[in-house]
């Protein structure tokens, strides 16, 4: 079958590798906000890329709605990372296990942004089962509606932000609010400044959402609220953002 997915780019690259290995056709639907570098990577790997306007979830032009419509019209298999429970389950069974193995279970907090919600929900649930006092903290871009939703149960205003792949105008099904204890709101400037520091000072070749996660983790560490190591995720690479102005700042 043909696979289709709505993606900010990173999941699309993973799917493209699998599709190439198994000789599947893959169609990736991306909002125009996402970098040219991601489009290039996907097409190089053999995926077909469809670009949509930066439309809200209520619009027919929203990238997730376009992917769902094309799936219905053509009989393509929608991977559906925003709803597919395999997303959360795999992070619970694999990513969380790696973290526990590498830390020996000595964890004060886990910090992550949410695109689909799979990472923070799956890892968070497994860590809470290990020890109920481990804090699970959402790193959310300023302009995303998710921080307010975690704190109040209602999504906040839908604003604009430049960080790619995390945050949303409404919570995805795979983001489990009951797992998350608190939120750190991180601006674009903080995210990109931290990403550049990670590149230049640590040799970690990461993108903007990695900067968001680390900025949130460092703020949490400075607060003195956490007893034990703080774990976060570096989910993106700089090669997908080289055309972006934030990465070219001297």
Chunked mean pLDDT (size 10), the chain, 250 residues:
91 94 96 92 95 93 96 97 97 98 97 97 98 97 98 95 95 98 98 97 97 98 95 94 83
The reported pLDDT for the residue numbered 1 is 86
Q: Whose CA is closest to 237, among 14, 3, 6? A: 14
Identify the pLDDT of residue 208.
Answer: 96
CATH numbers and ranges of domains, the chain: 2-78 (3.40.50.1100), 85-248 (3.40.50.1100)
Q: Write down the pLDDT at residue 10.
A: 84
Q: What is the pLDDT of residue 249?
A: 66
Helices (H), 30-112: 36-44, 63-74, 85-90, 96-103
- What is the DSSP secondary-structure string of 24-58? -EEEEEEETTS-HHHHHHHHHTT-EEEEE----TT
For 114, the 3-state DSSP assignment is coil
Alpha-carbon span 8 to 63, nearest angstrom = 9
Burial class (CB in 10 A: 0-12, 13-18, 19+), 8: buried
How far apart are alpha carbons 124 and 63 in whole angstroms?
A: 27
Residue 108 DSSP code = S
End-to-end CA distance of the chain: 46
Cβ-contact 234, 9 below 8 angstroms: no
- DSSP type of residue 95: I
Secondary structure of residue 34 in the 3-state scheme = coil
What phi, psi does 115 have (nearest 5°)? Answer: -95, -70
Decide: 235 and 210 in contact? Cβ < 8 Å.
yes
Name the 3-class secondary structure at 4: strand
Strands 77-78 and 2-6, by their bridges, are parallel
pLDDT at residue 250 in the model? 58
Length of the chain measured in residues = 250
What does the alpha-carbon distance between residue 99 and residue 232 come to, in Å, rounded to a whole number?
10
- Residue linked to tokens 């395999």: 86
Cα distance between residue 117 and residue 177, in whole Å: 9
Looking at residue 165, the DSSP 8-state letter turns out to be S
């Amino acid at each position: 079958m043909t696979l289709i997915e709505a993606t900010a780019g990173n999941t699309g690259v993973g799917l493209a590798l699998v599709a190439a290995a198994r000789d599947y056709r893959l169609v990736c639907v991306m909002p125009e906000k996402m970098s040219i570098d991601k489009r290039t990577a996907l097409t190089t790997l053999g995926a077909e890329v469809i670009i949509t306007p930066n439309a809200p979830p209520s619009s027919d032009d929203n990238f997730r709605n376009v992917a769902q419509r094309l799936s219905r019209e053509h009989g393509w298999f929608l991977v559906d990372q925003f709803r597919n429970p395999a997303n959360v389950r795999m992070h619970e069974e694999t990513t969380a296990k790696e973290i526990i193995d590498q830390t020996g279970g000595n964890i004060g907090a886990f910090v992550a942004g949410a695109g689909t919600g799979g990472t923070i929900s799956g890892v968070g649930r497994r860590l809470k089962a290990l020890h109920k006092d481990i804090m699970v903290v959402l790193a959310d871009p300023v302009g995303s509606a998710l921080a307010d939703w975690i704190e109040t149960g209602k999504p906040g205003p839908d604003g604009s932000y430049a960080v790619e792949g995390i945050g949303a105008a409404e919570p995805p099904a795979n983001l489990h609010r009951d797992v998350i204890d608190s939120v750190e709101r991180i601006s674009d400037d903080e995210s990109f400044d931290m990403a550049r520091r990670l590149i230049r000072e640590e040799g970690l070749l990461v993108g903007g959402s990695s900067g968001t996660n680390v900025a949130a983790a460092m703020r949490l560490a400075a607060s003195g609220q956490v007893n034990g190591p703080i774990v976060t995720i570096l989910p993106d690479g700089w090669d997908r953002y080289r055309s972006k102005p934030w990465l070219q700042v001297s």
